[in-house]
């Protein structure tokens, strides 16, 4: 809170605050509602309503109508969900085949996931699937969103189909749902069902190494085949192994919203 000078005048705010205020009102840049509309948050009128409701922040500060933004610099969020507005950002959904390594380069000469998508702009995988696991994988050059998706505390759900050895008993399913003791600690409760004998549908929000395989091992049913079928709200049953496509604007928005919601849901109690 500002204090008064001895002569009664209110001191000027720090220079960085003056600069930020001046920059927010510069004529350059795009109007915030236009940027939001272009990234799938609705019509300009809907985006104006989001801003008026105080749900949009720019660089951590609640935005006001009329705010202009620089896509190269400003960090924009809606309800805590990042809005990827920087030019050149790409978001690929890949159906990773078995035998392909989730890395940019492999010292053993094995095929990698980045070799299955365009070479430019350079992208990196979000999280990991081990070499024998198949299914959906995101690749992007949006480092902020990638960090939020893969960070354990944000808890974006991932769904898997696991073909396991033997039929899992009700007790085994209950173990998965309650949490399984692994060598690195107890897992969080999973959403687990058995649509067919020996086939498990497992949804987790943690990101431990080979977690689903280790959970199944712990209940006595080793995995024979593992396929990731969903990442947050993103799924695609028509995407063939080895194929990829770009996420739609609506999918990017839904993914950002899921990241923000998961961060709130699984945040440690304060």
- Give catalytic residues, as residue numbers: 130
Q: What single string gives the DSSP state of each residue in 43-96?
A: -HHHHHHHHHTT-EEETTEE--TT-EE-TTT--EEETTEEE--STT--EEEEEE
Cis peptide before 121 (omega within 30 of 0): yes
Other CB atoms within a 10 A radius of the CB of residue 215 amount to: 25
Supply 83's token pair.
């809005």
CA distance linking residue 270 with residue 251, whole number of Å:
32
Identify the three-state secondary structure at position 16: helix
Long-range contacts of 189-197 (CB under 8 A, 24+ apart): 190/215, 194/167, 194/168, 197/167
Beta 124-125 vs 91-96: how paired, if at all? Answer: unpaired
CA distance linking residue 117 with residue 185, whole number of Å:
36
| Residues 51 and 67: beta-carbon distance below 8 Å | yes
Cα torsion through 144, 145, 149, 155, rounded to 10 = 80
Identify the three-state secondary structure at position 169: coil
């Amino acid at each position: 809170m500002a204090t008064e000078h001895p002569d009664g005048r209110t001191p000027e705010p720090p220079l960085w605050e003056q600069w930020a205020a001046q920059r927010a009102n510069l004529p350059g840049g795009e109007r915030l509602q236009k940027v939001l509309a272009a990234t799938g948050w609705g019509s300009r009128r809907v985006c104006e309503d989001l801003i008026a409701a105080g749900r949009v922040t720019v660089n951590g500060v609640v935005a006001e109508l009329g705010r202009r933004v620089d896509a190269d610099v400003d960090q924009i969020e809606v309800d805590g969900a990042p809005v990827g507005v920087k030019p050149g950002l790409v978001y690929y959904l890949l159906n990773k085949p078995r035998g392909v390594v989730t890395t940019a380069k492999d010292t053993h000469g094995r095929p990698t996931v980045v070799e299955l998508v365009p070479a430019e702009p350079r992208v990196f995988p979000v999280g990991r699937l081990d070499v024998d696991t198949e299914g959906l994988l995101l690749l992007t050059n949006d480092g902020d969103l990638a960090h939020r998706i893969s960070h354990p505390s944000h808890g974006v759900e991932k769904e898997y189909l696991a073909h396991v050895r033997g039929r899992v008993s009700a007790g085994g399913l209950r173990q998965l749902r309650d949490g399984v003791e692994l060598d690195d600690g107890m897992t969080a409760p999973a959403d687990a069902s058995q649509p067919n004998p020996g086939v498990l549908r497992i949804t987790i929000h943690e990101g431990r190494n080979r977690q689903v395989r280790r959970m199944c091992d712990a209940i006595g049913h080793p995995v024979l085949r593992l396929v990731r079928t969903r990442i947050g709200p993103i799924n695609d049953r028509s995407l063939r192994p080895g194929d990829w496509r770009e996420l739609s604007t609506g999918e990017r928005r839904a993914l950002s919203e899921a990241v923000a919601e998961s961060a709130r849901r699984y945040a440690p109690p304060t």
